[in-house]
Amino acid sequence: MGGDDDGDLRPPADLRPEIPHPARMYDYYLGGKDHFPADREAAEKVMALSPLVRISALANRAFLGRAVHHLAASGVRRFIDIGTGIPTAGNTHQVAQQVHPDARVVYLDNDPIVLVHSRALLSGTTPESTAVVQADLREPAAILKAPEVREVLDSGQPVALLLFAVLHFIDEADDPHAIVRTLVDALPAGSHLAISHATGDFAPPADAAKGPALYRNASAQLTMRSREQVLRFFDGLELLEPGLVTAPLWRPDREPEPADARVAFWAGVGRKA
């Protein structure tokens, strides 16, 4: 695990461009420019399954923006964003700092290419406002020991723990519910947990396994979860209105459309009493 103070923006040796990376595939869905041919090829195969793939990725990103804005507007100034992704438009610190210029965001991701991009993007920000840490969500105890995370937690102020589009890369064998519990237990009272999670709930049964199958050769595997499974991540928390809904239906800032109810991402925000 490394902090953000080495200032080294050189590409790491292990980008493995020949292996599709979820972060670069997601960047391709969003219309970004940080991907290699293997990422594009794998992403095109996933998108061929359904036009909803790109729509869902964009809807997830829009949910991130609305959720972070809502949390900042309700007074949260500290954010821990795990599974950051390659920086694109509307990153967490940009949304939060529109509301609180002094908002502090700790970004964590286990993908070296994400780290390189994040550090380059953040090189213009003040060191106090953002930090980038290489960490694996499957190791919550190590995450909680990272000095950048400790500093945020030790402030005693409410924190928003953001797990946007990352838990579906955690296999059941790694017990994602226990991971989330460990992290939530460490948050001060009044903190929030925000989650978005890919689901096969709306896919015909024959198609539900095809997405995960296409990620089989990627650097992280995809595990879709049902609404009930995603709801369990919020056990012990008070779910904010409107509860766990598909991403476009979480406090929408436009008139809902019929297709919104079938977007393949569950999204919700819970509060720790």
Do 83 and 168 meet the contact criterion of CB atoms below 8 Å apart? no
Residue 23 and residue 14: Cα distance in Å, rounded?
A: 15
Give the count of residues interacting with ligand SAM (CB under 6 A): 22
Binding mask of the shown chain, residues 114 to 153, with x at each position contacting ligand SAM by CB under 6 A: x---------------------xxx---------------
Give the containing element (helix H, strand E) for 215. none
β-pairing, 265-271 vs 238-239, is antiparallel
Give 253: exposed, middle or buried? Use CB within 10 Å, 0-12, 13-18, 19+.
exposed
Task: Determine, following the binding rule CB under 6 A, whether residue 166 of this chain makes contact with ligand SAM.
Answer: yes
**Interface with ligand SAM (CB under 6 A), residue from 4, 34, 39, 109:** 109
**Interface with ligand SAM (CB under 6 A), residue from 4, 34, 39, 111:** 111
Task: Determine, following the binding rule CB under 6 A, whether residue 237 of this chain makes contact with ligand SAM.
Answer: no
Grouping H, G, I as helix, E, B as strand and the rest as coil, residue 101 is coil
Cβ proximity to ligand SAM, 111 vs 153, nearer residue: 111
Interaction residues for ligand SAM, span 18-37 (CB under 6 A) = 22-23, 26
Interaction residues for ligand SAM, span 241-270 (CB under 6 A) = none
Return the residue nearest ligand SAM (CB atom): 85
User: What is the number of other CB atoms lying within 10 angstroms of the CB of residue 190?
Assistant: 15
Closest contact distance (angstroms) between CB of 102 and ligand SAM is 23
Write down the residue that tokens 């879709």 correspond to: 224
Report which of 143, 194, 190 is spatially closest to residue 165, judged by C-alpha positions. Answer: 194
- Binding residues for ligand SAM, rule: CB under 6 A, are 22-23, 26, 60-61, 64, 82-85, 109-111, 114, 136-138, 164-166, 169, 220
